[in-house]
Structure 1
Amino acid sequence: MLKVGDKLPKFEGINQDGISINSSQLLGKKLVIFFYPQANTPTCTVEACNLSDHYSTLTNAGLQVLGISGDTVKKQKNFHSKFAFPYDLIADENHEILEKFGVWQEKKTFGKTYMGIVRTTFIFDEQGICKRVIEKVTSKTAANQILEGIN
């Protein structure tokens, strides 16, 4: 998994509107990238809505926000539209971005082993250097977790 001090990996993804976003476009401002397992599932919805509810506080702190999951563009569009998120959601169906960040991992639930996304939030500075990794994301207070480490 990406660690503090690592550089923002080069990536390109398609957002909910079918527009390509690449990592170089995200430099110049502090950046929050949150990875979530699946659009429109209960815990992911709570996390994404918490970030949306506190979006102005996040942007006032100089942060830009980006969500990424392995969902299709259509699923991301539905999720984005349903909750009117003020930030982009990237569809990473082939898991290229997920793997670059190291969040596509083996998981276990009820004794069953499978590959999936480990809910993780990364915070980068203006130059694209990772300043913080939140591995134990609390969906209901995700924005507060991010803001706790911002100076």
Structure 2
Amino acid sequence: MATLEVGQMAPDFALPDQNGNVISLADLRGKVVVLYFYPKDDTPGCTKEACAFRDLNHELAEAGAVVYGVSRDSVKSHEKFAGKYGLNFPLLADETSAVCEAYGVIQDKNMYGRITKGIVRTTFIIDRDGKIARIWPKVKVDGHADEVLAAVKAL
């Protein structure tokens, strides 16, 4: 499992979004990227987090950042999720888990005494040069998008 640190180059990726467009980190150089990993489309915590980023997306854009959500759900699942909640940023489909593995967000999770491998909610800010500027491991959803906005403004 990858362990990434602030100051390291962010692992590059190319993933399809909910519209089938391939998004590459290399193509985003020169922009601040908020990359948040979440476990599953249309579940309570993930919906709350996505809607919080949706509601602050305009302010994040004014601060120079672009937001991308990443999970292992399919393009079709992302399309439904984004449409249902009016999400105004791309959701990236990492169906092979390669990007999740590269960012170290696939970890053991204990649910009711059963250990499974899954995405641990994690957010990265990647600076204009492609380096990791900030990491939030094991994100608690309440107030998180506001914290991310404050961090983007401080860059």
Q: Which category of TM-score, normalised to the shorter sequence, fits these structures?
A: over 0.9
C-alpha separation between the residues in 1 aligned to 2:142 and 2:85? Answer: 16
Equivalent residue number for residue 110 of structure 1: 112
Equivalent residue number for residue 71 of structure 2: 69
Q: Give the partner amino acid of 2:110.
A: K
Residues 22-41 of structure 1 correspond to what in structure 2 (within 5 A)?
Answer: 22-41=24-43
Q: Give the partner amino acid of 2:143.
A: T
Match of 1:18 among 17, 20, 43: 20
C-alpha separation between the residues in 2 aligned to 1:54 and 1:147? Answer: 8
C-alpha separation between the residues in 1 aligned to 2:59 and 2:139? Answer: 18
Q: Report the RMSD for the aligned CA atoms in angstroms.
A: 1.1
Q: Give the partner amino acid of 1:34.
A: Y
C-alpha separation between the residues in 1 aligned to 2:139 and 2:53? Answer: 12
Structure-2-length-normalised TM-score: 0.93
Which stretches of structure 1, 4 residues or more, deviate above 4 A after TM superposition? none
Question: Identity of counterpart residues, as a percentage?
Answer: 39
SS of 2:142's equivalent in the other structure is: helix
Q: Give the partner amino acid of 1:111.
A: G
Residues 127-142 of structure 1 correspond to what in structure 2 (within 5 A)?
Answer: 127-142=129-144
How far off its partner does 1:100 sit? Answer: 0.6
C-alpha separation between the residues in 2 aligned to 1:142 and 1:56? Answer: 16
How far off its partner does 1:136 sit? Answer: 3.8
C-alpha separation between the residues in 1 aligned to 2:32 and 2:89? Answer: 14
Q: Give the partner amino acid of 2:99.
A: I
Structure 2 residues not aligned, in runs of 5+: none
8 A Cα contact 1:47 1:141, kept in partner: no
SS of 1:123's equivalent in the other structure is: strand
Residues 25-104 of structure 1 correspond to what in structure 2 (within 5 A)?
Answer: 25-104=27-106
8 A Cα contact 2:120 2:138, kept in partner: no
How far off its partner does 1:101 sit? Answer: 0.4
Equivalent pairs counted in the alignment come to: 151
Deviations 1:95-138 (A, max 9, x none): 01100101011111221101000100000110011010011423
Structure 1 residues not aligned, in runs of 5+: none
